[in-house]
Structure 1
């Protein structure tokens, strides 16, 4: 949502292009199923143009039905696709990138079982279920240069408007359920205002004020309103592409299911398992013998290592395959092992804020658990109770998206120092000692560590895992500096310079493009 999103360029088609005639589409579709590498070879050799030929021949050559869940979705489509050349161009562009369609639909199969029931409940068009394809490629960790994130790409201002306010523990913009409900409320209000779904979708992207102004300008210029004015309005090019790409995707489901069929797999239902009180997801996954990645895949809203403290019952999303294992693990997991509660005695010079940063908890949680403490009069010697991961030294003691440890064949791990880290913190976190860390890293007595520094952790090698850092192409705006950009995205100035060596000078100009690598959880921390 909002301008600034990176969109896929329209493929340039020659006016002289003619589709290759096909003698037997059944043989082609059978070939795609028999060879698992067909997508890559088609894209590499240009043979996907044959599929464009199928598209040009029309729906009479439709092959088999879609997988049941996708077929049910397509059968609910009721909107009439506008007959606009730009939609046809985008339909062909989408059909020409089979790899993108395949990978995006694979992610969509995870979240559509959550999204579609909410759309039905709100009584809105089922076609809106495809909008996250354009918004985020169905990636809940997608992030835009305007700090929009989640499947529905809520920017901070709109997120606050719809009560999607991040905390240190969760970012509801990445919550598939909460964000979908908010998106449907917003889209419904836009439709009530503009009485046209093309305009409503355009307003979701560009902002309702921009669409209203464009309509006024068009009305003054043309003297009347067309039935579908979005195609005649003076809108940002990104918004034109946004609306046309959505309709192009809907068009594929309307008339060209023979192309989509081999790309799609049936959806897996999503169940909710009630979890009472905070729990370290690493511990729960280990006891249940469930891949930790599976929990974060269906619950991408988590910013930390577990469910938020002081939230009562949390409904964890799982697939039926793992539901019983999670329930059983929760039932037999002693409360003392679900989360570790440590006691910290306040020292001279410490504040609640510094203590919260030291233990990587948010100030609100610290105050809610230690409600008898007056933050304005924190006394030396006061004992605070603080939630921590139940497994000290575990490399999964933070959320999946925050892992930064790499496997080393030398028997140690390398770790990139983050803001707030200290040797004492790292020694405690990885079940080591300050003296061992000093010896392994050549740090003299009294010396410290710096943010961005890579240090060795004396621990047995642990498999590395994929993080969720996202590449952002940021356009410098008036008033920006290297420091302000780094602060905005939760990164270091040294990182910005390393990624963009052409901007080593502190003087930057509006309009310049920068490459940034950002973690969505860092963005959430800066919106609290």
Structure 2
């Protein structure tokens, strides 16, 4: 049955209030129908997710309980953090095979690998405000307790392999104490002492009943873990795609170093970018790799390195001793009035230790007129030279482009003009005043 409001309006003696009442009733009816439809879809979705999690639960000794909290966290991730899941799927290609092998070695549930997403978002460089570090977020003292050393050169809490081994040992110890995986997860977050005190105080040893007595972060920890577990398994069903994979676990190998090497030397002889070396070796705090440590590289780069191992070590030694320069120049700097080592080091982006080493200085004392050898990164030297140019104002004329202006300035590039004037695009408005270097 269709109601034509226009025809009703043409009727004689039609009560205007009747029309308002009719419109109001129809609107309410449509709203009720729409709300019922949303409720039905949500209910159907709820039961579908519950069914899937029950299937996951059959495959693990970890209690993957489904409830409203878990459902809410799944929806939060789907609404706000789909990109996070896409990224985790890509990173998992590198980290999860190693984690699964380690968990299996210790006889632990493989699903514990998902805890590293909750802890750090699979970022070995992650650092919390409280000082917890790495994939598994070890505090300094806890890391020491589980054989993760921290030195001036290395932080093993950021080593994916060693920290995962330590996390497995910690999981086993927690399970021996609590005998329940949900309580183990809560203890991993809140600390075993905190959970033990709560169990004693409340006389409750079931996580889901104990949950209301826990602080907010620990209360939400297990539901988050279950939600991540679900989404990493059923991402396709929610139209989530995997980000591009940088490297998989099966494409890497390691080398035990026979001598200390620096990053530039390693990049040069292995033909590996800084980005890849740092990604695969996140535990190294400086651009130095000490003797006897292991470095991880793509398999083909490791193979090439070992084929010319002796020659490669000689080359890296020459680079380390500055007999061969990679992307840097040797300059002679004349000490000016008011100079001191810290000031010179800051200007040329080097450290005081190297300044003393290059110039065989036993103390930090320098005198005006002294000449110092400094090895400076080419890009930084170019930046210093560019900044030292005298600059003058130029008014953009009709037809000017960054390229045409740069052509008039011998040795100056478009990007340098952009950087000097903080220009992001390429368009110049006639009449605009910009700075140009005067050579």
CA contact (8 A) 1:110 1:298 kept: no
Label 1:284 to 1:54 Cα distance change in 2 as closer, same or farther (>3 A): farther
CA contact (8 A) 2:89 2:242 kept: yes
CA contact (8 A) 1:280 1:305 kept: yes
Cross-structure match for 1:111: 95
Cross-structure match for 2:378: 460
RMSD over aligned Cα atoms = 4.3
Aligned length: 318
Cross-structure match for 2:302: 323
TM-score normalised to structure 2 length: 0.61
Cross-structure match for 1:376: none
Measure the CA separation in 2 of the matches of 1:192 and 1:60: 30
Measure the CA separation in 2 of the matches of 1:229 and 1:395: 59
Label 1:280 to 1:245 Cα distance change in 2 as closer, same or farther (>3 A): same
- Structure of higher CA gyration radius: 2
Match of 2:179 among 184, 187, 195: 195
Matched, 1:296 2:278: yes
Measure the CA separation in 1 of the matches of 2:57 and 2:259: 40
Measure the CA separation in 1 of the matches of 2:348 and 2:186: 40
User: Secondary structure of 1:316's match?
Assistant: strand
Measure the CA separation in 2 of the matches of 1:134 and 1:319: 28
Cross-structure match for 2:48: 58
CA contact (8 A) 1:175 1:300 kept: yes
CA contact (8 A) 1:203 1:211 kept: yes
Label 1:392 to 1:254 Cα distance change in 2 as closer, same or farther (>3 A): same
Label 1:148 to 1:195 Cα distance change in 2 as closer, same or farther (>3 A): same
Give 5+ residue unaligned stretches, structure 1.
1-15, 23-51, 63-72, 342-387, 397-413, 432-442, 448-455, 465-528
Point out the structure with the larger helix share.
2
Alignment of 1:174-185 (within 5 A): 174-185=158-169
User: Secondary structure of 1:273's match?
Assistant: strand
Measure the CA separation in 1 of the matches of 2:238 and 2:198: 37
Cross-structure match for 2:316: 338
CA contact (8 A) 1:268 1:319 kept: no
Cross-structure match for 1:284: 266
Match of 1:81 among 64, 73, 92: 64
Measure the CA separation in 1 of the matches of 2:95 and 2:282: 11
CA contact (8 A) 1:278 1:306 kept: yes
Cross-structure match for 1:167: 151
Measure the CA separation in 1 of the matches of 2:263 and 2:244: 28
1:461 Cα deviation from its structure 2 partner: 2.0
Cross-structure match for 2:215: 236
CA distances 1:275-315 after superposition (whole Å, capped 9, x unpaired):
32322232122122121221221111112223213x3xx33
1:87 Cα deviation from its structure 2 partner: 1.4
Label 1:458 to 1:79 Cα distance change in 2 as closer, same or farther (>3 A): closer
Measure the CA separation in 1 of the matches of 2:264 and 2:381: 14
Matched, 1:208 2:198: no
Cross-structure match for 1:150: 134
TM-score normalised to structure 1 length: 0.51
Label 1:339 to 1:252 Cα distance change in 2 as closer, same or farther (>3 A): same
1:144 Cα deviation from its structure 2 partner: 1.0
User: Secondary structure of 2:241's match?
Assistant: helix
Label 1:249 to 1:114 Cα distance change in 2 as closer, same or farther (>3 A): same
Measure the CA separation in 2 of the matches of 1:104 and 1:279: 32
Give 5+ residue unaligned stretches, structure 2.
1-34, 329-343, 360-365, 383-439
Match of 1:126 among 110, 124, 129: 110
Cross-structure match for 1:247: 226
CA distances 1:186-216 after superposition (whole Å, capped 9, x unpaired):
1111111111111111111111000001111
User: Secondary structure of 2:378's match?
Assistant: coil
Cross-structure match for 1:373: none
1:331 Cα deviation from its structure 2 partner: 4.3
Measure the CA separation in 1 of the matches of 2:36 and 2:88: 27
CA contact (8 A) 2:132 2:138 kept: yes
Cross-structure match for 1:65: none
Cross-structure match for 2:74: 91
Cross-structure match for 2:85: 101
Measure the CA separation in 2 of the matches of 1:290 and 1:463: 24
Ranked by relative contact order (alpha carbons within 8 Å, sequence separation 6 or more), the top structure is 1
CA distances 1:393-443 after superposition (whole Å, capped 9, x unpaired):
7579xxxxxxxxxxxxxxxxx985799944x845977x9xxxxxxxxxxx9
Label 1:292 to 1:21 Cα distance change in 2 as closer, same or farther (>3 A): farther
Cross-structure match for 1:366: none
